[in-house]
Amino acid sequence: MVELQSHLAGKWSPGSGKTTTLRNPATGADVATLHAEGHDLAAAYRFAREVGGPKLRAMTFRERGAVLKAMSGALHGERDRLIEASMENAGTTRSDAKFDIDGAIGTLAYYAGVAESLGDRTFLVDGEGIQLTRSPRFFGFHIAVPLEGVAVHINAFNFPAWGLAEKASVALLAGMPVISKPATATALLTFRCMELFVQKGVLPEGALQLLCGSATPLLELLRRDDVLAFTGSGATGTLLRGLRTVVDHAVRINVEADSLNAAVLGPEVGEGSDVFRAFARDVAKEMTQKTGQKCTAVRRLFVPSGVADAMVAALGEELAQIKVGDPTNDTVRMGPLATEDQLRDVRAGIQRLVADGAKIVWGSPEHVDLVAGDAAKGAFIGPVLLRHDAPAKAEAVHAHEVFGPVATLLPYEKLEDVPGLVARGDGSLLAVVHAEDAKTVAALVRGLAPHHGRVWVATEKVLDQATAPGMVLPSCVHGGPGRAGGGEELGGTRGLAFYMQRTAIQGDRAMLERVLDVRGE
């Protein structure tokens, strides 16, 4: 069995104390162990600040991009081995493993491309210069320089590769050293990624450290020029926001948390039309990809009441095609949940929705027919579709995220009611719209945007060209208001702002243009 180590202050650190065992959720077999404590986190923190930070800040964007390109290449070169680690520790299908790993490889490569466009600078100049007085000599510029502290990244269990890469690529490009902590339950894949970075020698010293274990002692060290980026449950996010060190030192914190993403079918969409069928197909995929353990998975399905029965039938047909079981069997389309705890939480969540008036219209929380594997040993559950016919009165469906292959259909009467109903989710990452009519799109884009980080719209002309709704693209922002954490990541160069200090520089225009290396008119 593999013993997962951290990579801190330039060397592998096994940790000490209590042993935690990581399991294969499809078979229950032990796959790895780790010690959550016993790491010298003060030394790791100093190493990032004193070695990694200065090295990165001395590099140009182009040079930092070369690091990201090499990281992407290191993962790509061992993709098959990484897929195996994902299947073994997270119970993912091959396809779900690729979604995570290719997402990591692609995001690193994307930011390597952004670096090329930023060129041979070491900091950013933000916008044009501004004349500040009547004199054309006295000008103001805005620049963004890397913060001089440490970026601490804490990730959720569902994307052990992408979670590491999407945060690290932006921080490293901005010029900040990273200490990254994966969720314990699925840390094997993150450990394998780090092993590759170290073996291939792609990282500048101190640029990226891996912590497999508790982050608590590290969080006590945070100071004003450090940042904390967290992905996980709302409860942990709230706890981190309230940490003494975070509050006292005004440490920047970005939280990506729970989300009750909605899918909306426009009232004009005819039963059985291409758009109608695309809604059923996209929803079934979003419900079941990664066994529904995706922050962007849709949980609430707003459908015109006149076609609600037809949509239940269409979704049932799609879900019936999802073969569940041990993902080492090639016919399996959906693997188990990541842990037994998740299975318990998902079943309890479904009960909560039912207690609030929802009815199960497809699937069962307790029984699943497996095409491979042993239901008694793995954390298996099949897709479960619920329906609540009074979305305005319902409470639980708008408040509780069931982090599994579960969604609730909510029939609506009038389009103008939809934004208000969706907004009861209290802020989400994503709203998915399937429509035919520009008026519907206009009403939903305007009505849903204030409550979401992203609105994805499928109309006839893009049905076969659109990316999957749940796919997070590095070029567009990822995050959401309210319950979703109020955070924002990625979005091309937009994501760099979190890791940089924006400063207004005022003075002699000609002098500043020289110093900042901006060309005058």
**Contacts with ligand NAP, residue ranges (CB under 6 A):** 154-158, 181, 183-185, 215-216, 231-233, 236, 239, 256-259, 295, 401, 403, 429, 484-485
> How far is residue 452's CA from residue 479's CA, in Å, rounded to a whole number?
8
Nearest to 150 by CA among 223, 213, 80, 62: 223
- Taking the complex as a whole, the smallest distance from the CB of residue 36 to ligand NAP amounts, in Å, to 7
Q: Nearer to ligand NAP by C-beta: 357 or 481?
A: 481
> How far is residue 11's CA from residue 305's CA, in Å, rounded to a whole number?
60
Does residue 460 carry a catalytic annotation?
A: no
- CA dist 223 to 167, 349, 452, 473, Å? 20, 38, 31, 31
**Which one from 166, 193, 286, 295 is the annotated catalytic residue?**
295
DSSP bridge pairs for 254: 229
To the nearest 10°, report the CA torsion of 91, 97, 101, 102: -170
Q: Which two tokens stand for residue 389?
A: 């016919």
Q: In what order do the strands lie in the sheet with 2-4?
A: 2-4, 30-37, 16-23
> How far is residue 511's CA from residue 248's CA, in Å, rounded to a whole number?
38
Q: Nearer to ligand NAP by C-beta: 308 or 422?
A: 422
DSSP bridge pairs for 140: 130, 506
Q: Nearer to ligand NAP by C-beta: 304 or 486?
A: 486
Q: How many CB atoms lie within 10 A of CB 209?
A: 28
- Taking the complex as a whole, the smallest distance from the CB of residue 258 to ligand NAP amounts, in Å, to 4
Q: Which residue is nearest to ligand NAP (CB)?
A: 232
Q: Nearer to ligand NAP by C-beta: 291 or 459?
A: 291
Does residue 295 carry a catalytic annotation?
A: yes
> How far is residue 181's CA from residue 230's CA, in Å, rounded to a whole number?
10
The three-state DSSP-derived secondary structure of 172-203 is HHHCCCEEEECCHHHHHHHHHHHHHHHHHCCC
Q: Nearer to ligand NAP by C-beta: 232 or 378?
A: 232
> How far is residue 32's CA from residue 11's CA, in Å, rounded to a whole number?
20
**Which one from 256, 318, 401, 488 is the annotated catalytic residue?**
256
Q: Nearer to ligand NAP by C-beta: 236 or 245?
A: 236
Backbone angles phi, psi at 137, to 5 degrees: -85, -30
- Taking the complex as a whole, the smallest distance from the CB of residue 401 to ligand NAP amounts, in Å, to 6
The answer to whether residues 190 and 112 touch, using CB atoms and an 8 Å cutoff, is no
Q: Nearer to ligand NAP by C-beta: 59 or 185?
A: 185
Which sequence positions are flagged as catalytic? Answer: 256, 295
